[in-house]
Amino acid sequence: MSSLFSLAGRRALVTGSSQGIGFALARGLAEHGAAVVLNGRDPGKIEVAAAQLSAAGHRVATAIFDVTSADAVRNGIEAIEGEGPIDILINNAGMQFRTPLEDFPADRWEQLLTTNVSSVFYVGQAVARHMIPRGRGKIINIASVQSELARPGIAPYTATKGAVKNLTRGMCADWAKHGLQVNAIAPGYFKTPLNQALVDNPDFSGWLEKRTPAARWGNVEELIGAAVFLSSEASSFVNGHTLYVDGGITTCL
């Protein structure tokens, strides 16, 4: 039965994987047998992350390119595929910006759209063009509880994560017939560098603990099981699905 979840012989690209959720997922896939390719824009951060995985005995490579540039993505994916097939893609790169909607700067709106939505399209399309002729492949997009919920001060972020959820459905509708499984993981509130200011805010943490049935923040390691499931043969008939890993917060609308 354990072979259902084995990733031995598979190669995974994880975008935005120098820290936080992306790095945790890359490490988790490597621990289950996958060779991983770390991606980011900062060579220094990516090399530090790669060194940590290498020191643990994992097979790791790096790919430095900007996922918000269609040309950079196309060239980056071609270079990776030149070294071997991408069997698993995790579209994790993303950003957040918090301010009241009436004051939200137009340039930040555009930046959020490009980083959180366009990158998923660019990388997903570039990788799928190689997966389709092979007749197999796993694509996992990182959505959010904000794909389902809303909170003051992050309306544009909420819009982008709702788009990721529906883009996942659209990718499934187009590519399932070619043997691809395209799904999303929607994390709840996790302790990451992106959320550190909220973690350190006692008022927000207190609100979150009351709002979440599990009554706590999530730890990034708790996302690994979902990623391994959706990357493995165990999910061979799961497609177009968004898996919420949120401590139950979306059950209390």
Burial bucket for residue 237 (CB in 10 Å: 0-12, 13-18, 19+): exposed
| pLDDT score at 253 | 64
In a domain, 253, yes or no: no
| pLDDT score at 195 | 84
| pLDDT score at 99 | 93
Question: For the whole model, what pTM was predicted?
Answer: 0.95
Burial bucket for residue 70 (CB in 10 Å: 0-12, 13-18, 19+): middle
In a domain, 215, yes or no: yes
Q: Which two tokens stand for residue 86?
A: 């991408």
The dihedral through the CA atoms of 143, 144, 145, 150 has a sign that is negative
Of 122, 157, 189, 244, the catalytic one is 157
CATH number assigned to the domain comprising residue 107 = 3.40.50.720
| pLDDT score at 1 | 47
**Total domains in the fold of the chain:** 1
Which 3 state secondary structure label does DSSP give 143?
Answer: coil
In a domain, 208, yes or no: yes
Active site includes 244?
no
Angle (deg, nearest 10), helices 155-175 and 106-113 = 30
| pLDDT score at 193 | 82
| pLDDT score at 200 | 94
Instruction: Please list the pLDDT of the chain residue by residue as tens digits (253 residues).
Output: 468 999 999 999 999 999 999 999 999 999 999 999 999 999 999 999 999 999 999 999 999 999 999 999 999 999 999 999 999 999 999 999 999 999 999 999 999 999 999 999 999 999 999 999 999 999 999 999 999 999 899 999 999 999 999 999 999 999 999 999 999 999 999 998 878 889 999 999 999 999 999 999 999 999 999 999 999 999 999 999 999 999 999 998 6
In a domain, 252, yes or no: no
The answer to whether 4 and 233 are in contact (CB under 8 A) is: yes
Percent of the chain with pLDDT over 70: 99
Q: Which residue range is the domain that position 32 belongs to?
A: 2-246
Any idea how long the chain is? 253
User: What is the tally of helices (H) and strands (E) in the chain?
Assistant: 9, 7
